[in-house]
Structure 1
Amino acid sequence: MKNPTTTTSSPLFLRAAWGEDTPRAPLWLMRQAGRYLPEYRAIKARASFWEMVRTPELAAEITLQPLRRFPLDAAILFSDIMTPLPAMGVPIEFNPGPVVAEPLRTQAQLEALRLPEPQEIAPYVAEAIRLVRRELAGKPVALIGFAGAPLTLATYLVQGSGAKDYEEFRAFLRQAPHLAHQLLQKLTELTIRYLRMQIEAGAEAVQLFDSWAGLHDPDTYRTFGLPYNQKVLSALAGLGVPRIYLAVGASHLYPLLALLPCEAVSVDWRLSLAQVRPFFPAHTLQGNLDPAVLLAPLEVITQEAHKVLRAGLGGPHIFNLGHGVIRTTPPEHVAHLVEVVHQFNRHSEEPA
């Protein structure tokens, strides 16, 4: 549904996220602030990942770096989905992905998890949001906050680190479903508090990353994913920000994802937006260029971006990648993509 406070002077991203079929697709890219930018690598050379996340001035600077290069319609806060977990008493390291030294498998470990108050979770995130909003004041750029979905956070907590198919976690759901539900309930409340804190600090939209939802069959997702995502997203209703949900490799779950109380659904590159649209007739679609396209020649980028833009016609569309920017992406290819999207008039083009 449309936000009654949104006007034609509101940032284009927010207008589309609230359901307006805008004449141009607003554009931002997942992982737009990161390793493909030399200015990011310069900071990374002198600061660890946690130092960058936990130092508001650095997190704000990295968030703003792509906005200085490209006329994007939204910034997404530089952080990580694991950021709120240390406040529960779970040490997190990155090597290079997240590592939990003692994977959670027992009732005693679960009971030891504390549920922090919102101001305790990650105060440096709130400060970084305020710094970014100050820099963006008066500019037509929205700031997106985000969090990991409970099922995805549980995946890392139980598995302990990245894995191809997360067999330990999938077995845990079957072997200890009661424990799994207790864990998911705690993570749900943590996520609600964390996202509310971001909104209060100035985030103008929020995205819930359910990176590993696609691992599960529909019955498993219906049991361990859907009700907790519904609770998180419902708790944010009425706060004046559009809610975006992302699940990767989850096209088999689309009938269930359509039940989520959110304004926008971000989809990966595996299906055309024209194929996805019937599942989400009341939602804005976000996506879904294959990130690997940005490694191709400029004429290929133009061709593939036009395919996505035409497939996104027939309803509100936010242009994005189907997942994050690949680290070897040339920045000039991103600049070309932005130009292509800006030149595409959605109200004068024919659908694919």
Structure 2
Amino acid sequence: MSLFLEAARGQDTARAPIWIMRQAGRYLSEYRALRARYSFWEMCRTPELAAEVTLQPLRRFDLDAAILFQDIMTPLPPMGVEIDFSPGPVLKEPVRSAQQVRALRVPEGGEIAPFVAEAIRLIRAESPVPLIGFGGAPLTLATYLVQGSGSKDYDEFRQFLRYAPETAHALLDKLTDLSVRYLKVQLQAGAQAVQLFDSWAGLHDARVYREFAKPYNTRIFEALAAFGVPRLYIAVGALHLYGEIKDLPCEVVSVDWRVPLSHVRPLLPGKTLQGNLDPAVLLAPEGVLRAEAERVLREGLGGPHIFNLGHGIMRQTDPERLAQLVAVVREFDRRAHTTPEELSHA
């Protein structure tokens, strides 16, 4: 078994495995060369291109896992949703009425994104490390559907949950069924782990999360349990939600950079922690990068830890900085260091 899969399954490994969110993407010159020739949707929907982009960082860096190149919006068009990117997702018509929600169809697995399954098969044939599939959590997908485009605070969606809760639940129910089918397609094609991105969960208080997110995330993770693969979850800016997140039936929780892992670990008993270097540190000089990475590694002691950023890598990142980060993580022997708790009592 790979180091990544061992840690994801709860093993306190001697070295923290490392992969990077958005490691397949725009900070790499080889990705930009492809992007100059193809639109973003073309790259997502062409298996050979999606596989190539997924594999690009593995040729440069000694990473412990690959992350599928796709977008969380990929499964939505078969529902009848028209999406464009400029550069973020923009809907031709936001979904805000009960009639619009009723009109959304939930396609069968094979209809959703057959190009994703083919890309996964191509990647598995070449990747030396496990492949992580992924999807958007229902609450986050609904955020885009209702708001219609990117927003600073998604005010339209937040009020929608209050003034139309029944419609919101009907929408989330359909998105949950869609997500289960989409992620099952990925696992059947060969993905060895799945991550559920709940990018905008942190906008909400615990009561709203408990009603509009937790039951649907739970349904997804429970539906995937039979595959026996690690299930990963990330909610950004969500420290106030960990009292709810701790109950999700997933093995790994990814933590953003705003709070030390040693503070989070008691809040998430039994979970592997993933994260949580501030992506901006990759823009800093090498000495700062090393010091900050080692700090995160020390904070991750005391239980299973997968090293990652606290969110996606920034487009202006110099790939050489990522190579340096990978080297620092790979040389850090977790058995030779004292846990943060022991240090605090020294």
TM-score computed with the length of structure 1 as normaliser: 0.96
> Residue 51 in 1 paired to residue 51 in 2?
no
- Once the two structures are TM-superposed, the CA of residue 351 in structure 1 deviates from its matched residue by 2.3
Tell me how far 1:280 sits from its aligned partner: 1.1
Find the aligned partners of 2:24 and 2:185 in 1 and give their Cα distance: 22
CA distance in 2, matches of 1:110, 1:217: 25
Match for 1:82 among 73, 81, 91?
73
What is the DSSP-based 3-state SS (H/G/I as helix, E as strand, rest coil) of the residue aligned with 2:226? coil
Where 1:236 maps in the other structure, the secondary structure is helix
Instruction: Map residues 153-172 of structure 1 onto 2, 5 A cutoff.
Output: 153-172=141-160
What secondary structure, in the 3-state scheme, does the structure 2 residue paired with 1:245 have?
Answer: strand
String of CA shifts for 1:195-228, please: whole Å, max 9, x gaps. 0000000000000000000000010100101110
CA positional deviation for 1:158: 0.2
Structure 1 match to 2:249: 261
Secondary structure at the counterpart of residue 81 of structure 2: coil
Q: Which residue of structure 2 lines up, in the alignment, with residue 133 of structure 1?
A: 124
Q: Which amino acid aligns with 1:232?
A: I
Paired with 1:105 and 1:324, the residues of 2 have a C-alpha distance of 29
Give 2:88's aligned residue: 97
1:293-332 to structure 2, matched below 5 A, reads: 293-332=281-320
Q: Distance in 2 between matches of 1:238 and 1:314?
A: 29
Q: Which letter does structure 2 place at the counterpart of 1:154? A: A
Secondary structure at 1:249 match in 2: coil
Q: Provide, for residues 243-283 of structure 1, a one-character-per-residue CA deviation record: whole Å limited to 9, x for no partner.
A: 00000000000110001000000010000000000011200
Instruction: Give me the whole-angstrom Cα distance separating, in 1, the residues matched to 2:339 and 2:91.
Output: 46
Residues of 1 paired with 2:229 and 2:91: CA distance?
32
SS in 2 for 1:315: coil
Aligned to 1:4: none
Q: Which residue of 2 aligns with 1:6?
A: none
Alpha-carbon distance in structure 1 between the residues aligned to 2:241 and 2:35? 37
Aligned residue for 2:55, secondary structure, equals helix
* Partner Cα distance (1:155, 1:180) in 2: 10
| Matching residue of 1:3 | none
Measure, in 2, the Cα distance between the counterparts of 1:164 and 1:287. 24
Matched residue SS, 2:74: coil
Q: Does 1:33 align with 2:24?
A: yes
What displacement does 1:238 show? 2.1
The amino acid that maps onto 1:24 is: R
Alpha-carbon deviation of 1:12?
0.6
Structure 1 runs of 4+ aligned residues shifted over 6 Å read: none
Take 2:12 and 2:197, find their aligned partners in 1: how far apart are those partners?
Answer: 24
129, 141, 148: which one pairs with 2:136? 148
CA–CA separation in structure 2 for the residues paired with 1:73 and 1:87: 33
Whole-angstrom CA distance in 2 between matches of 1:274 and 1:107: 44
Q: What number of residue pairs does the alignment pair up?
A: 340
TM-score (ref. length: structure 2): 0.98
Note the 1:171-250 alignment, pairs <5 A: 171-250=159-238
User: 5+ residue gaps in structure 1?
Assistant: 1-9
**SS of residue paired to 2:196:** strand
Shift of 1:91: 1.0
Percent of aligned pairs with the same residue? 68
The unaligned stretches of length 5 or more in structure 2 are 341-346
Residue in 2 that maps onto 1:60: 51
Show the counterpart of 2:115: 124
SS in structure 2 at match of 1:319: strand
For residue 7 of structure 1, what is the aligned residue in structure 2? none
Kindly indicate whether residue 329 of structure 2 is the aligned counterpart of residue 338 of structure 1: no
* C-alpha separation in 2, matches of 1:128 and 1:328: 27
Alpha-carbon distance in 1 for matches of 2:84, 2:229 = 31
Give a deviation string over 1:146-193, Cα, whole Å, max 9, x none. 000000000000000000000000000000000000000000000000
Q: Find out whether 1:285 has 2:285 as its counterpart.
A: no
